[in-house]
């Protein structure tokens, strides 16, 4: 397991625990690139404003939850 600090597209920095022993795809990508799904990340950063309510259905590791 690793704790990484990420700040996708200039958003607030947050720490995320990634388990590269049990998740060899998302964890490895995040460890290397510090961003997950750049297009979707860009959409959320530009479309969701502070103070809005959103529902994160199907959260896996919490990347979008922290981003939101």
Question: Over the chain (68 residues), what is each successive 10-residue block's mean pLDDT?
Answer: 88 87 88 92 92 86 85
What three-state secondary structure class fits 30? helix
pLDDT for the residue 68:
85
Three-state SS at 26: helix
pLDDT, residue 47, reads 93
How far is it, in rounded angstroms, from Cα 18 to Cα 31? Answer: 8
Tell which residue, 36, 2, 32, 31, has the closest CA to residue 17: 2
The predicted structure's pLDDT at residue 33: 92
Domain region containing 42: 2-67
Structural domains counted in the chain: 1
Q: What is the pLDDT of residue 43?
A: 93
Q: How high is the pLDDT of residue 24?
A: 82
Residue 11: per-residue pLDDT: 81
């Amino acid at each position: 397991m690793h704790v990484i600090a990420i700040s996708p597209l200039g958003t607030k920095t947050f720490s995320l625990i990634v388990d590269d022993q049990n998740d060899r795809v998302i964890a490895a990508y995040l460890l290397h690139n510090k961003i997950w799904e750049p297009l979707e990340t860009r959409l959320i950063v530009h479309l969701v404003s502070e103070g809005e309510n959103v529902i994160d259905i199907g959260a896996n590791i919490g990347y979008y939850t922290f981003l939101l």
